[in-house]
Amino acid sequence: MSLLPGLKAAHMAETLVDYGRADATLTHTGPARPLGAPENDRRYSDDEQFWREILLGGAWDSTWHIEGAAISEWLARVPGLYWAPGSAAFRRIAKAFVEHRDANFVTYQPIGKSQRVIGGIGTLRLPPADDGYRIVTLTTSLNASTGVPALVSPDTWSRLHLREGSIVSGRAWWVPMSVRWAENFPSVKHIPRGYLLLDDGAPIHAHGGTAHVEIQPFSLMEYWDGNAELLDYVYVTADGTDAAYRRQCEGFFERYRAESGRSGRYLLSADVADPMWDAVYASPAALRGAYVRDLELLQHRIDRASGGEDVVASLIGVLSSAQSAADLRRLGDQADVPGGWYGQAPIAELSRRLVAAAANAGRLPSLVQQAAIEYPRQVLSGLG
């Protein structure tokens, strides 16, 4: 038995909420250039090194010296999730979930793709804000899923002739996302939500040439596996600078939904401004305007998946591997579970109480996510 179905459902619920807001809150209200010199300058020459420092404490209003980072208009579904504790375990897929393999490519079954998306793979593309500000990715590893969000002013974008694959160096400030921008990203509590601010006050210059940046457009697919109707993430890897990448992505998504008798359909489009494949909700406006009954049924399926008997039993089993009662209390606090469950009792009993309290408070999906961060191997036990 695995906790992965519950974890997948928790991520999907956030993805739907996030997608429904993607075109409604893109109004730049971000901070101006910080006044005064930051206490310590930092060097950004490696995506992993950058996120390791950010995940330790945010480093707000710090100056980062950018050394040859490529720009992509595609950004991670959850910026920083790729480098978060536990994520790497979800990107390692058992052989049983490989659908096709050749000399150059590996295609995973839907559950394998979902597992990798939970581990930080997957990108989307947002249109510029009404005032021309746009949020993009900077990456030194040439992978949009691993990179760093950057908010670019319209003057900077046009003055430097920036585009997909442009390479930039210089200095920028790491600042918290404004409330409206932050609403466009899932609420993963342990990842600070910020961006590097590239406005007219940031001394940035563009290099000549273009870098090839990997992007991973994703969607949610409803499909059939025998008599079971399922819901999984799907993504494809492409070169965002390739003139044919959109056609290639469209072709993959069309083939994948029909392979192995899946008879699938896609719910969302990864490109908010210019959808690349047929989707039930081809735009955030379509999702918001959908019949209430459609959305209620979809949410009911997700709730059932994240709170079913198997998920509850698996979650109790995972939490029972905690080293101490203090570890359980910390997890409960991180998931915002009311504290009435805590008391003197064996670990197994405290685990049961914590899960019951989370379910009663509507915090079960959050607790599942926190458990996955702390105990990724236990969450994946029983798979493949």
CB neighbour list of residue 10: distance below 8 Å, 6 or more residues apart: 306, 365, 366, 368, 369
Residue 18 inside a domain? The answer is yes
Residue 349 inside a domain? The answer is yes
Q: How far apart are alpha carbons 193 and 195 in whole angstroms?
A: 7
CB 269 within 8 A of CB 249: no
Whether pTM > 0.85 for this model: the answer is yes
Residue 348 inside a domain? The answer is yes
pLDDT tens sequence across 103-117: 777 888 898 999 999
Residue 144 inside a domain? The answer is no
The model's confidence at residue 11, banded by pLDDT at 50, 70 and 90, is: confident
Secondary structure (H, E, C), the chain: CCCHHHHHHHHHHHHHHHHHHCCCCCCCCCCCCCCCCCCCEEEECCHHHHHHHHHHHCCCCEEEEEEEEEEECEEECCCCHHHCCCHHHHHCCCHHHEEEECCCCEEECHHHHHHHHHCCCCEEECCCCCCCCEEEEEECCCECCCCEEEEECHHHHHHCCCCCCCEEEEEEEEEECCHHHHCCCCCCCCCCCEEEEECCCCCEEECCCCCCCEECEEEEEEEEECCEEEEEEEECCEECCCCCHHHHHHHHHHHHHHHHHCCCEECECCECCCCCCCCCECCHHHHHCCCHHHHHHHHHHHHHHHHCHHHHHHHHHHHCCCCCHHHHHHHHHHCCCCHHHCCCCCHHHHHHHHHHHHHHCCCHHHHHHHHHHHCHHHHHCCCC
Amino acid at position 248, single letter: Q
Residue 369 inside a domain? The answer is yes
Q: How far apart are alpha carbons 176 and 180 in whole angstroms?
A: 11
Per the listing, tokens 């096709």 go with 100
CB 341 within 8 A of CB 351: no
Average confidence (pLDDT) over 153-160: 93
Average confidence (pLDDT) over 56-69: 87
Residue 11 inside a domain? The answer is yes
Residue 12 inside a domain? The answer is yes
Whether residue 148 has pLDDT greater than 90: yes
pLDDT tens sequence across 91-142: 998 787 888 887 777 888 898 999 999 999 999 998 888 888 899 999 999 9
Question: The domain containing residue 345 runs over which residues?
Answer: 1-23+290-384
Whether residue 300 has pLDDT greater than 70: no
Question: How would you classify residue 194: left for phi > 0, otherwise alpha for psi between -120 and 50, otherwise beta?
Answer: beta
Among 70, 74, 69, 82, smallest CA distance to 212 is for: 70
User: In this predicted structure, what is the pLDDT of residue 54?
Assistant: 93
Residue 324 inside a domain? The answer is yes
Strands 123-125 and 74-76: antiparallel
Domain tally for the chain? 1
User: In this predicted structure, what is the pLDDT of residue 29?
Assistant: 47
The Cβ of residue 106 has, within 10 Å, a number of other Cβ atoms equal to: 12
Residue length, the chain?
384
